[in-house]
Amino acid sequence: MGVAGCGKSTVGAAVATAEHLPLIEGDDFHSPQSREKMARGTPLTDTDRAQWLVTLGRQLAGHPDGVVLTCSALKRAYRDQLRQAAPGLRFLFLEIAPDAAQQRVSGRGSHFFSASLVDSQFATLESPVGEEGVLAVDALEPIASLQRRVAGWLHGKEPA
């Protein structure tokens, strides 16, 4: 979880592969209307995200043996809703500075998310640091290193 550009898809894919788990890209479940809003540079509201979170919760619940889900989960209420759908759910928080996130999003090319929305992501973000079941990491750490840290955490070898 984290703001746009933090590396959710890349790290999620690495963790899913290493853990032999399915990967679900949260972005794939945004409605056409939400994708259009984001492409225009209009931030999503809680209302825009409501059905998306219900759908992601169903996806989590449908994988009782485990799954890796990439999802911004910017607010505590969003994370709590997902936790209700999947008790024991854990979050990897990919922390990144605004300028680094902006640079990454600007370099994406064909992604539907407008780089003009990065600031709104940081404005919406409620840090999960201190919440149960959260591991916060530096999003700029090498992917292989992040994957190893997550594996250790998932298997009880690294504290959150």
Domain membership flag for residue 160: no
In this prediction, residue 113 carries a pLDDT of 62
CATH number at residue 109: 3.40.50.300
Instruction: Provide the number of structural domains found in the chain.
Output: 1
As a whole number of angstroms, the distance between CA 160 and CA 150 comes to: 10
pLDDT reported for residue 110: 56
In a domain, 159, yes or no: no
Q: What is the dihedral of CA 82, 9, 67, 59, to 10 degrees?
A: 50
**Residues 145, 46: Cα–Cα separation, whole Å:** 34
72-76, 110-114, 135-139, 155-159: which range is least confident on average?
A: 110-114
Question: Is residue 39 over pLDDT 90?
Answer: no
In a domain, 64, yes or no: yes
Task: Flag whether 15 is in a domain.
Answer: yes
Query: In the predicted model, is pLDDT for residue 160 greater than 60?
Result: no
- Is 94 a member of any domain? yes
**Position 2 in a domain:** no
The tokens of 86 are what?
């999947």
Q: How many CB atoms lie within 10 A of CB 6?
A: 24
pLDDT of residue 56: 97
Look up the domain containing 96 and give its range.
Answer: 8-154
Query: Does 3 reside within a domain?
Result: no
pLDDT digit string, tens, across residues 66-124: 999 999 999 999 999 999 999 999 999 999 999 999 888 877 655 556 667 888 899 99
Between 127 and 42, whose confidence is greater?
Answer: 127
Helices (H), 20-156: 32-40, 46-61, 76-85, 98-106, 118-124, 143-154
